[in-house]
Amino acid sequence: MLKYQKIAMDLEDYIEDNSLVRGDKLPILDDLMKEFEVSKSTITKALEILEVKGTIYQVRGSGIFVRGHRRKGYINLLSNQGFRQSLREFKVTSDLLELAVINPTKEAAHNLSIEMDEEVYYVKRLRKIQGQPLCVEESYFKKSVVAYLNEQIVSESIFKYLSEGLNLKIGFSDLFFHVGKLKKEEAEYLDLKENDPGLYKETIFHLANGEAFDFSKIIYNYEQSQFYIQANNYLP
Amino acid sequence: MLKYQKIAMDLEDYIEDNSLVRGDKLPILDDLMKEFEVSKSTITKALEILEVKGTIYQVRGSGIFVRGHRRKGYINLLSNQGFRQSLREFKVTSDLLELAVINPTKEAAHNLSIEMDEEVYYVKRLRKIQGQPLCVEESYFKKSVVAYLNEQIVSESIFKYLSEGLNLKIGFSDLFFHVGKLKKEEAEYLDLKENDPGLYKETIFHLANGEAFDFSKIIYNYEQSQFYIQANNYLP
DNA sequence: CAGTGGTCTAGACCACGGC
DNA sequence: CCGTGGTCTAGACCACTGG
């Protein structure tokens, strides 16, 4: 593990352990350098990561402060770590509806930039929160990248398996969404009525080398889901 | 303007001017260092900004590549620069419905961390795209920060005025949203029907020093709006 | 193994906040 | 004015990619 990653994690733990909240001050740069016995740039790099993640903000001439937020019960839209993190106080479970090796739909093939005769793993899951349907998810994993999946892996954290088990390096993801009216079949999964509102989200996940490997479609139950994002305002 | 900011902008222009698309290669680090006559770290910093913004991705041992994305007509959810950027090919206009100095609602006061007797500018606007209602927005600006607003400023870009006119430094923003059924009054603004789907978004904007100064509530017309985000996957 | 990006250092100097 | 974070440099060394 890289120094700056370790420092970033240690600082997150420090904030957690000391129950620091928005506006609370962290030690100054100089002290952090001494504490971790690294150069200024390394601390800066660690802080930058936490800044991008929305954990802290830095004010020149003043100090380093905890950002956090949190409205309870909101899902972090950008966390692909499933819902374990954002909703850890709630009970989230997952029903596996389907797991198979298939040829992709035209849509999936297009979003993964593959031919329609290349094989993919198709995973369909229904996620529940405190027993209520939270969302239906369909995922298409390139089989050339994700060579093997089984029921157990899928029922736990797929991404953890990919990065730790298969040693894949996840890079970036493109996320698209819109709001619409649920079709009858969709509504049934979510325990809602036809034409009720639904949030439709599509995500294309890429490896660090830029290759798309997972196309995912999720429909959220509007009664169970609220989202948050912590953004930074870079170049105007 | 800082060197790395200038470089980042120049590289964006370079991509634009040469119509580079996803996967196209940029010059290597060494050449960029020579071209811009700066040290490696400065180039790295510029590239990092573009990486966070979703403009490029870097692959160790291989090169620097254009990321971009491929869907037209989607709104960048994280761009507070209004819709000019994402939808520049479409005609976006804005009707001012109300502009007044008032005491904040309880909700606005809470989100801005102020008392209910402190004054705020209240701005209500209806945005249209190609003549169709796109969203209704209500904003509350702390008067202690934004001392003056008028009809002309509001009809153009408020944030441009804040950063260039008032020289305020925008820092970060917290974004919350959910999906719901439109109330009758809301639906009328958007030319929709009661109980049609709506995307409800709230944003709290902060200065670089961490002070909240703008609380904004937007309801989007589901027929006119689709969104995208380009995310990076940092620490697992 | 050559090419290319990533990490880390030590240090100079700058810019902003707040007393 | 002092304390604090931000920018920038030059350079050593590491780690991954791809022929």
Tokens of B205: 């904007």
Which of B159, B199, B233 lies at the smallest CB-CB distance from A179? B199
Q: Is B177–A226 a contact, with Cβ atoms under 8 angstroms apart?
A: yes
**What pLDDT was estimated at residue A204?**
95
Mean of pLDDT values over B192-197: 96
pLDDT band at residue A82 using 50, 70 and 90 as cut-offs: low
CA–CA gap between residue A70 and residue A89 (Å, rounded): 13
pLDDT band at residue B236 using 50, 70 and 90 as cut-offs: very low
Contact B74/B226 with Cβ under 8 angstroms? yes
Is the pLDDT at A83 greater than 60? The verdict is no
**What pLDDT was estimated at residue A236?**
43
Mean of pLDDT values over B216-224: 97
**What pLDDT was estimated at residue A165?**
85
CA–CA gap between residue A81 and residue A160 (Å, rounded): 8
More confident residue, A42 or A160: A42
Decide: residue A131, CB within 10 A, 0-12 exposed, 13-18 middle, 19+ buried.
exposed
Residue reference for tokens 């607003």: B149
Is the pLDDT at A80 greater than 80? The verdict is no
**What pLDDT was estimated at residue A166?**
87
**What pLDDT was estimated at residue A158?**
87
Q: Are strands A170-181 and A197-207 parallel, antiparallel or unpaired?
A: antiparallel
pLDDT band at residue A222 using 50, 70 and 90 as cut-offs: very high
CA–CA gap between residue A24 and residue B210 (Å, rounded): 11
Distance from CA of A224 to the nearest CA of B (A): 9
Is the pLDDT at B119 greater than 50? The verdict is yes
Mean per-residue pLDDT of chain B: 91
**What pLDDT was estimated at residue A89?**
63
pTM, to two decimals: 0.93
Q: Is A52–B159 a contact, with Cβ atoms under 8 angstroms apart?
A: no
CA–CA gap between residue B65 and residue A171 (Å, rounded): 13
**What pLDDT was estimated at residue B86?**
54
Is the pLDDT at B79 greater than 80? The verdict is no
Strands (DSSP E) along B103-211, which ranges?
120-129, 132-142, 170-181, 197-207
A137-153 residue pLDDT tens: 999 999 999 989 999 99
Is the pLDDT at B88 greater than 90? The verdict is no
CA–CA gap between residue B161 and residue B146 (Å, rounded): 10
**What pLDDT was estimated at residue B83?**
52
Q: Is B78–A8 a contact, with Cβ atoms under 8 angstroms apart?
A: no
Decide: residue B121, CB within 10 A, 0-12 exposed, 13-18 middle, 19+ buried.
buried
CA–CA gap between residue A122 and residue B108 (Å, rounded): 45
Residue–nucleotide distance: A56 CA to D17 C1' (Å): 35
Is the pLDDT at A87 greater than 60? The verdict is no
What percent of chain B is modeled with pLDDT above 90? 77
Reduced to 3 DSSP states, what percent helix, strand and coil does chain B have, rounded to the nearest 5?
25, 35, 40
Q: Is A236–B159 a contact, with Cβ atoms under 8 angstroms apart?
A: yes
- The nucleotide whose C1' lies nearest the CA of B2 is D7
Distance from CA of B101 to the nearest CA of A (A): 27
Comparing every residue's Cα with the C1' atom of nucleotide C17, the nearest one is A61
Tokens of A79: 């966390």
- Stated length of chain B: 236
Is the pLDDT at A42 greater than 50? The verdict is yes
Q: Which residue of B has its CA nearest to A230?
A: B174
Q: Of A229, A59, A52, A236, whose CA–CA distance to B159 is shortest?
A: A236
Mean of pLDDT values over A49-72: 92
Grouping H, G, I as helix, E, B as strand and the rest as coil, residue B210 is: coil
Tokens of B57: 């991705």
B167-183 residue pLDDT tens: 889 999 999 999 999 99
Decide: residue B29, CB within 10 A, 0-12 exposed, 13-18 middle, 19+ buried.
middle
Q: Is B163–A236 a contact, with Cβ atoms under 8 angstroms apart?
A: yes
Instruction: List chain D nucleotides near protein: any atom < 7 Å from a Cβ.
Output: 3-12, 15-18
Distance from CA of A101 to the nearest CA of B (A): 27
B17-42 residue pLDDT tens: 999 999 999 999 999 999 999 999 99
Q: Encode A149-168: b = buried (16+ Cβ within 10 Å), e = exposed.
A: beeebbeebbbebbeeeeeb
Which of A69, A173, A197 lies at the smallest CB-CB distance from B180? A197
